[in-house]
């Protein structure tokens, strides 16, 4: 089957040019002129871009006394509607489980549901010696990144010894270490103090997780990785202090990378203080910060201190626990510490960043692709199979209409939640056709994808990657 995408403007991290793209079965066969196919998709007046890659998601994740509300079908469908055709989810090791059991558990969640391609990071929560010995095998399964939580004391958090031992093992075996960097011990004390003082509203989530505790943990992880010789990727970085730690490490020549998430550019801690319980919608960790931090993040993206913008898509219902819904934010009605942490966004990322980032003059069209597609593929060992448009690459392609307008709303979104952080935001630029390995998933607002067609993507080791 040969599909010709005709007359569009190709945009990659490096180039912008007019050409046709010939897709043969699952791959890009040729990019050029005068080509023909069995079917033709008209891309005149549109950009032809690589499918978005979101390297930070939590689908069907048990967390905070419930489970995130999107599964591997609803989350994938929402991703595709927003122009994202690949994601890497966190397979979280339940205490006592082996890494293989963890990998199998997450594989089972995706089985028969996946509609776009996906990979896994394994999040280590428990590291007795027999688990440590499994780390080299992760590479054989195609899992070449490990995550450690320095926060969520009593559930996901690991101590520095576990973090450091994992870093050493990762360094020796070509895996990238990811950290959720916040000082969980200090946060735990602040949370208990707030509760004891009767400070129970959502805004105390932000007030008990100060930016300094993220900066401290970021710096600590960086220095531990330096001694262990491990490459480090800091997830969901939110503030100036943490950014300075990353910038300093990179200036010293250390292999340290960082992402921020799209929502951190647009919301502040004041959103958690919205009237009533409304602020619970904005409860995620690390929390939203100050306008000055937002400015610092835009600068960080511009000067390459930040290489990736992901979503940390971890949706919960605002009003859950009824009508077949899993419990959601209402679990924390009487105590902010019981609000499940996380926000939706996998569908919104590409549109919000095109509108506010590219059209808003914050970064170029090429940089948008680099941040959302190419760098994720390079850093996580999938390039050039994913993350660019080139002969031989998977035909994960989005035909992007730069002039189409859309108002983001919970009423029209495909994410399985009852709210959207960006409710009412007007975006200009959205996908008109989305292909995953040559198959059309979305065309003119209609779902044409198939449950079970998405595949697990095994990823390369760190030292075999094309660095970002």
Q: Does the protein bind ligand URP through residue 312 (CB under 6 A)?
A: yes
Q: Does the protein bind Zn ion through residue 180 (CB under 5 A)?
A: yes
Nearest alpha carbon to residue 189 among 197, 178, 201: 197
Residues numbered 280 to 299 that lie near ligand URP (CB under 6 A) are 284-285
**Residue from 46, 58, 77, 87 in contact with ligand URP (CB under 6 A):** 58
Closer Cβ to ligand URP, 342 or 454, answer by number: 342
Closer Cβ to Zn ion, 312 or 330, answer by number: 312
The least distance separating ligand URP from the CB of residue 318, rounded to whole angstroms, comes to: 15
Q: Does the protein bind ligand URP through residue 256 (CB under 6 A)?
A: no
The least distance separating ligand URP from the CB of residue 342, rounded to whole angstroms, comes to: 4
Q: Does the protein bind Zn ion through residue 312 (CB under 5 A)?
A: yes
Residues numbered 321 to 380 that lie near ligand URP (CB under 6 A) are 341-342
Q: Does the protein bind ligand URP through residue 184 (CB under 6 A)?
A: no
Closer Cβ to ligand URP, 177 or 427, answer by number: 177
Closer Cβ to ligand URP, 53 or 55, answer by number: 55
Closer Cβ to Zn ion, 180 or 378, answer by number: 180
Q: Does the protein bind ligand URP through residue 54 (CB under 6 A)?
A: no
The least distance separating ligand URP from the CB of residue 284, rounded to whole angstroms, comes to: 3
The 147-166 site mask, x for binding ligand URP (CB under 6 A), equals --------------------
Closer Cβ to ligand URP, 48 or 283, answer by number: 283
The least distance separating Zn ion from the CB of residue 341, rounded to whole angstroms, comes to: 8
Nearest alpha carbon to residue 343 among 394, 268, 276, 419: 419
> What tokens does 81 get?
């509607």
The least distance separating ligand URP from the CB of residue 30, rounded to whole angstroms, comes to: 40
The least distance separating ligand URP from the CB of residue 218, rounded to whole angstroms, comes to: 14
What is the distance between the alpha carbons of residues 106 and 12, in angstroms, rounded to a whole number? 32
| Interacting partner of 435 out of ligand URP, Zn ion, none (Cβ under 5 to 8 A depending on kind) | none
Closer Cβ to ligand URP, 284 or 351, answer by number: 284
Binding residues for ligand URP, how many (CB under 6 A)?
A: 8
The least distance separating Zn ion from the CB of residue 290, rounded to whole angstroms, comes to: 20
The least distance separating ligand URP from the CB of residue 192, rounded to whole angstroms, comes to: 19
| Interacting partner of 437 out of ligand URP, Zn ion, none (Cβ under 5 to 8 A depending on kind) | none
Which residues bind to ligand URP, rule: CB under 6 A? 58, 180, 284-285, 312, 314, 341-342
Which residues bind to Zn ion, rule: CB under 5 A? 180, 312
């Amino acid at each position: 089957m040969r599909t010709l995408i005709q007359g569009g403007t190709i945009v990659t991290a490096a180039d912008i040019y007019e050409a046709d793209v010939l897709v043969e079965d699952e791959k890009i066969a040729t990019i050029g002129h005068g080509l023909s196919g069995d079917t033709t998709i008209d891309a005149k007046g549109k950009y032809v871009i690589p499918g978005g890659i979101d390297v930070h998601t939590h689908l069907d994740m048990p967390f905070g006394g419930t489970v995130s509300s999107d599964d591997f079908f609803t989350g994938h469908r929402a991703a595709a509607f927003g122009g994202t055709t690949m994601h890497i989810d966190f397979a979280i090791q339940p205490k006592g489980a082996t890494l293989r059991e963890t990998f199998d558990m997450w594989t089972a969640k995706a089985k028969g549901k996946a509609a776009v391609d996906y990979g896994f990071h394994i999040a280590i929560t428990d590291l007795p010696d027999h688990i440590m010995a499994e780390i080299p095998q992760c590479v054989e399964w195609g899992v070449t990144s490990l995550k450690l939580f320095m926060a969520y004391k009593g559930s996901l958090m690991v101590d520095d010894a576990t973090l450091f031992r994992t870093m050493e093992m990762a360094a020796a075996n070509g895996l990238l270490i990811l950290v959720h960097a916040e000082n969980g011990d200090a946060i735990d004390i602040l949370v208990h103090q707030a509760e004891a003082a009767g400070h129970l509203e959502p805004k105390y989530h932000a007030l008990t997780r100060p930016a300094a505790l993220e900066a401290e943990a970021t710096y600590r992880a960086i220095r531990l990785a330096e001694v262990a010789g491990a490459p480090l990727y800091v997830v969901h970085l939110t503030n100036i202090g943490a950014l300075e730690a990353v910038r300093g490490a990179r200036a010293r020549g250390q292999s340290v990378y960082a992402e921020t998430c799209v929502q951190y550019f647009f919301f502040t801690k004041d959103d958690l203080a919205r009237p009533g319980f409304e602020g619970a919608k904005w409860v995620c960790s690390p929390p939203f910060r100050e306008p000055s931090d937002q400015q610092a993040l835009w600068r960080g993206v511009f000067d390459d201190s930040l290489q990736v913008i992901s979503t940390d898509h971890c949706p919960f219902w605002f009003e859950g626990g009824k009508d077949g819904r899993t419990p959601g934010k209402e679990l924390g009605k009487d105590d902010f510490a019981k609000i499940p942490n996380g926000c939706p966004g996998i569908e919104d990322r590409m549109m919000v960043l095109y509108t506010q980032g590219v059209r808003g003059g914050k970064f170029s069209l090429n940089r948008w692709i680099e941040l959302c597609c190419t760098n994720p593929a390079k850093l996580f060992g999938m390039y050039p199979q994913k993350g660019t448009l080139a002969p031989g690459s998977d035909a994960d392609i989005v035909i992007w209409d730069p002039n189409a307008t859309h108002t983001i709303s919970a009423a029209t979104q495909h994410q399985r939640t009852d709210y959207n952080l960006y409710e009412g935001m007007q975006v200009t630029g959205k996908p008109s056709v989305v292909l995953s390995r040559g198959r059309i998933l979305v065309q003119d607002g209609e779902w044409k994808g198939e449950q079970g067609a998405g595949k697990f993507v095994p990823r390369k080791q760190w030292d075999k990657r094309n660095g970002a």
